[in-house]
Amino acid sequence: MEATTKTVPNQVPTNNQSQLVNRPSPTVILKEGKNELRFGPVVTGQIALGKDGCGY
Amino acid sequence: MLTTSVFCIKSQLDNGSVILKNTKTGAVAKVSASQYSSLEYWLGNQDESKPNFVDSFSGINEILVNDGVDEFANWQNKLLETRNNRARIFSLHFEPTLQCQLECGYCVENGIDCGVGMTDSTFQKSVGWFDQYCCNNQEVEVLRLIFFGGEPLLRKDVVKKALVAYSQLAQKHQLEYMTEIITNGELLTESVAKLLSRHNWKRVQITLDGPREVHDARRHGKNNRPTFYNIWSNILMLTGSDYISTVDIRLSLDHLNAEYIPQLVEFMARAGIQNRVRLSIGFIESSFFTQIREVEEKWQAEQALKVWKCARNNGFKIPDEYTTGPLCVAQAKHSAVLQPDGSLQKCFCTSGMSQYVFGNIFTETSEYTRDKRYENFQRLDDCVDEKCPYLPICGGGCTYHASVEDGGNTESFSKRHCKKMLLHDLNAGLLRLSYGLQE
């Protein structure tokens, strides 16, 4: 599985945010989440077989 | 109020940055040490202004979730709903024979009666059985035909017949169809590759145990006949042609060969096949017939991370997580291992063991491929009680190995196979390897 990179846009600072929080942020969501079971033959066909956890 | 998800794991980098991951959604984020401090502070003081990245951590990524949500209950409900009501793929492990020309000491099938292989009459009956199954189970939309054994290519005649018959059946029932094969690779010549490629060949898995000397000492034929050269030649044939896009190479790993696997990775890299190969690691564990020296999960994680680091540094793609679930093929609603004698099982690790048979192709039934022993989802209760963050990528672990540990009786199917330490160490390490350098 390869990572996808998406930069989270910095928000406009508000008056009462601390210096720490306000600093322009390199924070990124490196990989977006999915709203479903990510594994399982019943959904994706991507099964444990061939992934590390299953020995064969 | 937001709180950190119960499924959130974290891994710290040398510079203090923190990688956060939700095992349920798969979302991964990285924050600096100061940002992580600000996040922790804000979670305890949510009436103050929030750090600018907080919004991206909630919503679909679920690194942060609303306080009071029962994430475990929601996940369990979704698991069962998906497994029971959204089952659209039939995974058929087709075993033309249980015989094999290799004599690997750790094989799960050591000790079984390998029998004589599938007869034409049984093969024909299997086609009729699957035809009827599709009529009875209209929700099936995809057929994965996965050749397994023994060594399936010892019976190319059956493989050839099955490719034609099952792909035609898929066409008849308007199923998406794909071919896969798990093979030791020795007989996977170009003519076989050509044959498989005519039938939407999507996956091949070949196991290597180390560099030539190590592999040949473990995965040899009768009278210690070496096998590495033939297998490697066939791998190069596949990676140098277009019969299949990617070759899955499984690296077996136990206490006897672990130190040699990086050498194998470097050997493969020198062949320049990085873009055509997908590596995976198979930890060798005890079976019903073969006792493997127990190794610590911590040691397994360390060894695997050495391999993955070597693979990454040599240009191979590496996974960013280690998973054992939550659903394996044996737990899927529509799945079966079709044995050469026509009997049906759910897990290919129990091939040749009659006590794991749940049905056969000779008896008409409208029931789905059901073995209630593999529907024992109460085995997850302890995981929930322990609030294990790895549950979405583990699902209680391998039922087969739980059964081996517990003696193989009916009750053993209700046991989990907990590998929490391995999941913890290996996933933290993979996050560091995958995302640590992107700073």
Quote the ipTM score.
0.85
The answer, for B349 touching chain A at a CB cutoff of 8 Å, is yes
CA separation for the pair B280, A46 (Å, rounded): 14
Q: Mean per-residue pLDDT for A27-51?
A: 64
Question: Residue B323 and residue A3: Cβ atoms within 8 Å?
Answer: no
Asked if pLDDT for residue A19 goes beyond 80, the answer is no
Nearest CA in chain A to B31: A27
pLDDT confidence of residue A2: 39
CB contact (8 A) between residue A33 and residue B27: yes
Interface test with A, best of B15, B49, B305 (most A CBs within 10 A): B49
Cβ-Cβ contacts under 8 Å between A and B: the total is 185
Rounded CA separation B123/B120 (Å): 5
Q: What is the pLDDT of residue A49?
A: 41
Give the pLDDT mean for B110-129: 95
B336 by DSSP, 3-state: which? strand
The minimal CB distance from A33 to the residues B25, B31, B87 is found for: B25
Question: Distance (Å) from the C-alpha of residue A19 to the closest C-alpha of chain B?
Answer: 10
Is the per-residue pLDDT at B340 higher than 60?
A: yes
**What pLDDT is stored for residue A20 in this prediction?**
39
Taking contacts as CB-CB distances below 8 angstroms, the residues of chain A near B295 are none
Kindly state the tokens that stand for B1.
Answer: 């109020």
pLDDT at A15 over 50: no
Q: Do B280 and A52 touch (CB under 8 A)?
A: yes
For B29, phi then psi, to 5°, come to -135, 155
Does residue B272 contact residue B304 with C-beta atoms inside 8 Å? no
Confidence of residue A6 (pLDDT cuts 50, 70, 90): very low
State the nearest Cα–Cα gap between B170 and chain A, in angstroms.
16
Nearest to B156 by CA among B114, B124, B128, B193: B193
Measure CB to CB from residue B25 to each of A16, A34, A55 and give the nearest one.
A34
B332 part of contact set with chain A, CB < 8 Å: yes
Q: Would you place residue B108 in the very low, low, confident or very high pLDDT band (cuts 50, 70, 90)?
A: confident
Residue in B with minimal Cα distance to A27: B31
Look at residue A26 in the predicted model and tell me its pLDDT: 52
Q: What percent of chain B has pLDDT over 70?
A: 99
- With contact defined as beta carbons under 8 Å apart, do A28 and A5 qualify? yes
Share above pLDDT 70 across residues of chain A, in percent, rounded to a whole number: 20
Of B249, B254, B252, B250, nearest in space to B300 by CA: B254
- Cβ pair B336, B89 in contact under 8 A: no
Report pLDDT for B82.
86
- Residue A43 reports pLDDT greater than 60: no
* Contacts for B331 with CB less than 8 Å, ≥ 6 apart: B83, B346, B374, B375, B395, B399
Q: How far apart are CA B337 and CA B95, in angstroms?
A: 7
Is the CB of B436 inside 8 Å of chain A's CB atoms? Answer: no
> What six digits make up the tokens of B135?
């009529």
Q: How far is A40 from chain B (nearest CA, A)?
A: 5
Tell the residue number behind the tokens 């209630």, with chain if given: B372
For the ranges A40-54, B121-135, B363-377, the one whose mean pLDDT is highest: B121-135
pTM of the model: 0.91
Q: Do A1 and B144 make contact, defined as CB atoms within 8 angstroms?
A: no
Instruction: Compute the distance between CA of residue B48 and CA of residue B235 in angstroms, rounded to an integer.
Output: 59
Tens-place pLDDT, residues B20-31: 999 999 999 999
B76: closest chain A residue by CA = A37
Distance CA B378, CA B63 (A): 26
Tell me what percent of the residues of chain B surpass a pLDDT of 90: 84
Using one digit for the tens of pLDDT, what is the confidence trace for B260-302? Answer: 999 999 999 999 999 999 999 999 988 888 888 878 999 999 9
Mutant choice from A21, A25, A44 vs B, greatest count of B C-beta within 10 A: A21
